[in-house]
Structure 1
Amino acid sequence: VAISLARLAPERVASLMVADIAPVAYEHGHDDVFAALDNVRQGQPKNRREADNLLGEHVDSRPTRLFLATNLIRNEDNVMALRVGLDHIKQGYSDIIGVPDGEQPYEGPTLVLRGGDSHYVADDMLPALRDVLPRARVVTLKNAGHWLHADQPEAFQQAVMAFIDAQ
């Protein structure tokens, strides 16, 4: 969404930060996350520990489960419930994983953070990234997968703050 906005209305974007995504079309790859969140929705856990157990039936990574749990709130029935529209996300998933909208490159300052253990911004995607974001500074966070803000929160924050300070 942010890359699309930057390309379609660059005058409205002073700078851009992108977290482990390239401007390419992706294949479907979040069935485990959708299943985990559906599991929580159906299981109606009473606390975060129960929610984590339900998430863990589909997602092995604890940092990923912790990140997914940020989408939980206690509802009026006193159970943990999703605060995001999971069904809407599923319905729009093909748009989410598609190429960002716009024909022109975004020429503004850009930070692209990628996880060293992630395939979302692989080296072979860098030419496409440079076509769309020619001024991008690409920073690789070691020991981080796609959920780099969960895997390496301190390194993520340091890179973001350094970019902001440089603007």
Structure 2
Amino acid sequence: MKELLNYKVLGEGQPLIILHGLFGSLDNWITLGKRFSEHFKVVLVDQRNHGKSFHNSAFDYSVMAEDLEDLIDYLGLKNPILLGHSMGGKTVMQFAAFHPEKVAKLIVADIAPKYYPVHHELIIEGLKSVPLDSLKKRDDVEAVLSEYISEVGTRTFLMKNLKRNADGSFSWKMNLDTISNNIDEVGKELDYYLPIEVPTLFIRGGNSDYVKDDDLDDISDIFPNVQFETIIGSGHWLHADNPDKFYDIVMKFTL
């Protein structure tokens, strides 16, 4: 039997499935998920090798789309709205490319279906440099990561992956080795054959360079039934930078 992704269900109504980005987890979406659950049956998901989901050496968008299909089928979800941020956006786009008939609407947060060069080397190096076996307290992790990652917000986000085991030792929730070994897969372009007719919304951060103006025509060719929104002043983690605006944009598109 296939392993199922870890998930959390909030509310009732039409399903709204939310997938996090690289190094993230469903916990990143709890606050917004609760707000959305006033109108939808929200399903927050840990993608494979992240959060509390299973670890597996296979790590690409094809298998992550299969994981999503398995979960949708297991939960018996009909006409789900799919929302994905960054890597999660690539996953929901890939799912919609394979199964457009199973998607009511598609929301992609600050990622394009194009190829992205590997750009997480320093983060991975920093995470791997943390001496988990000899750690005494969480502050020790912060000290190590600060040598590689200058942004406090990024370090705080990454440290949410740290867990204390029953014996008092620390470990990463994510499967760091598999993610590192397959990091080039995270930047792969979308695998598609025909225009994807699903009603689609792309939301980008005004201060982010992940979705450029030059990308919009290419996106429109792949997703002809598309709308674009930009959250001015927000970066790549636009849902965290301006959750109220993000919420309003999603609600306007979905209701």
TM above 0.5, yes or no, is: yes
Residue 41 of structure 1, CA deviation? 5.5
Q: Name 1:121's counterpart in structure 2.
A: 211
Query: 1:71 aligns to what?
Result: 161
SS of match in other structure, 1:112: strand
Deviates more, 1:18-27 or 1:149-158: 149-158
Shift in alpha-carbon separation, 1:115–1:89, aligned structure 2, 3 A:
same
Matched, 1:11 2:89: no
Range moving further from structure 2, 94-103 or 152-161: 152-161
Give the whole-Å Cα distance in 1 for the aligned partners of 2:171 and 2:130. 7
Over the aligned positions, Cα root-mean-square deviation in angstroms equals 2.2
* Matching residue of 1:34: 124
Give the SS at the match of 2:174: coil
Q: Is residue 90 from structure 1 mapped to residue 180 from structure 2 by the alignment?
A: yes
Counterpart AA for 1:104: L
Q: Is the CA contact (8 Å cut-off) linking 1:63 and 1:150 kept in structure 2?
A: no
1:140 partner SS: strand
- Higher helix content, 1 or 2: 1
CA-CA distance at 1:27 after TM superposition: 0.9
- The match for 2:190 among 74, 97, 100 is 100
CA 1:160–1:66 in 2, change beyond 3 Å: closer, same or farther? farther
1:46 Cα shift? 3.9
Structure 2 counterpart SS, 1:107: coil
Distance 2:216 2:229 in 1: 12
Q: Which runs of 5+ in 2 are unaligned?
A: 1-90
* 100 and 68 in structure 1: CA distance in 2 versus 1, 3 angstrom threshold: same
Separation (CA, whole Å) in 2 of partners of 1:19 and 1:137: 12
Q: Who is 1:158 aligned against?
A: 248
Q: TM-score, normalised by structure 2?
A: 0.58
Q: Distance in 2 between matches of 1:47 and 1:149?
A: 30
Deviation of 1:94 after TM superposition, in Å, equals 1.9
Q: What's the offset of the Cα at 1:124?
A: 0.8
Q: 1:147 to 1:55 in 2, by over 3 A?
A: farther
1:154, distance to aligned residue in structure 2 (A): 3.5
CA separation in 2, counterparts of 1:52 and 1:60? 11
Partner Cα distance (1:76, 1:25) in 2: 41
Unaligned ranges ≥5, structure 1: none
**Higher mean Cα deviation, 35-44 or 65-74?**
35-44
